[in-house]
Amino acid sequence: MRVAIIPGDGIGPEVISEAVRAIEAVSADLEMEEAEMGLGAFQRTGSYLPDKTLELLRDVPAALFGAITSPLTYDPAYRSPLLRIRKEFDLYANIRPVRRWHGDLGLVDLDVIIVRENTEGMYTGAERDVAGGVVTERLVTARACERLVDRAVRLSHEQGRRRVTCVHKSNVLRRSDGLFRKVFYERTEGSGIEANDMLVDAAAAALISKPRELDVLVTLNLYGDILSDEAAALAGGLGFAPSVNMGDELALFEPTHGSAPDIAGRGVANPTAAILSAAMMLRHLGKAKEASKLEAAVETTLSLGHRTRDAGGRLGTREFMASYLEVLGTL
């Protein structure tokens, strides 16, 4: 099976190369083809998203991506390659599992999956002037809600989750969020998954005060953006937060963190989010056993006290990886 590996910029290549080593330790039959994207790609090839990369993405079911750095100086011609990919491949669901991988990480004992709408909502970018201010258009369509909820239900079945919660603000945004809530109950009825709903402000509080009552959250673009960062911070930080942007043809797996230019090249980046993204990719490709091994090794490595600095430890990326691969070899 062929997949794309796109290391990108900053700490992207540092963490993705470690995730690739982890994949190689559990699965020998993946053909991992490397491709370029981002600022480094622009400096080398003149394009932030070379055609070769796009062609490869058209040919594979999945890609593992690191992070990219935006242009250092203002470039009016710049279009985010990630946004282009999201549009071109219609990656409509952003899925972020957030779990506290060890009891002394983070603040809250979370184990949730946030399924966020990725194509519309507040992020249409459509703004216009009116007297004295600006109006932002916010789009909510039935079709986008339907496929998002269907994806959340499918995911819940695949992952053995019992409850999906629709997170919205329909007490204020009666028509748009009301539509989302209505579609949610229509599509979850008879699905075998328990369904309930919550206002977004209540969900933000519940992540802290009632984390065990939350299981799978399905929500619109802006709410998901904010809640997933909150959840990641509560569960131990960006170094442990994997994600996927999923369409019907392509799934792009990536750590939630960015290219972290402040620590790039220093050998201190935490590769765990990239490894957990790789595990999600393996599960998506039907390799559940291999994925569970990568995850179990994260748990054991952390429980042995091996930590990178962002997690309160002293290890650099390579030292952490040495411990991780040793643990992985015993599973």
Residues near ligand ATP (CB under 6 A): 10-11, 15, 67, 69, 238-239, 257-263, 269-270, 273, 310
**Active-site residue (options: 225, 293, 310, 324):** 225
**Residue 90 annotated to the active site:** no
CB of 90 to ligand ATP, least distance (A): 24
C-alpha to C-alpha distance for 234 and 229, rounded to whole angstroms:
9
C-alpha to C-alpha distance for 9 and 41, rounded to whole angstroms:
9
C-alpha to C-alpha distance for 135 and 123, rounded to whole angstroms:
13
Between residues 66 and 247, which has the closer beta carbon with respect to ligand ATP? 66
Between residues 7 and 10, which has the closer beta carbon with respect to ligand ATP? 10
**Residue 169 annotated to the active site:** yes
C-alpha to C-alpha distance for 316 and 264, rounded to whole angstroms:
12
CB of 275 to ligand ATP, least distance (A): 10
**Residue 109 annotated to the active site:** no
CB of 144 to ligand ATP, least distance (A): 26
| 41 neighbors 259 (Cβ within 8 angstroms) | no
Between residues 267 and 286, which has the closer beta carbon with respect to ligand ATP? 267
CB of 8 to ligand ATP, least distance (A): 9
Between residues 156 and 259, which has the closer beta carbon with respect to ligand ATP? 259
**Residue 201 annotated to the active site:** yes
Between residues 155 and 315, which has the closer beta carbon with respect to ligand ATP? 315
**Active-site residue (options: 201, 210, 248, 289):** 201
Structure-block tokens of residue 103: 């009891």
133-to-51, 121, 127, 129 alpha-carbon distances in Å: 40, 20, 10, 6
| 207 neighbors 230 (Cβ within 8 angstroms) | yes
3-state secondary structure 183-234: HHHHHHCCCCCEEEEEEHHHHHHHHHHCHHHCCEEEECHHHHHHHHHHHHHH
CB of 51 to ligand ATP, least distance (A): 24
The DSSP string of 285-315 is TT-HHHHHHHHHHHHHHHHTT--BGGGT--B
**Active-site residue (options: 90, 111, 123, 182):** 123
Q: How many CB atoms lie within 10 A of CB 46?
A: 8
| 60 neighbors 252 (Cβ within 8 angstroms) | no
**Residue 223 annotated to the active site:** no
CB of 247 to ligand ATP, least distance (A): 23
**Active-site residue (options: 169, 177, 223, 324):** 169
Between residues 14 and 215, which has the closer beta carbon with respect to ligand ATP? 14
By beta-carbon distance, which residue lies closest to ligand ATP?
258
What sign does the CA torsion over 213, 216, 218, 224 have?
Answer: positive
Q: So which residues are the catalytic ones?
A: 123, 169, 201, 225, 229
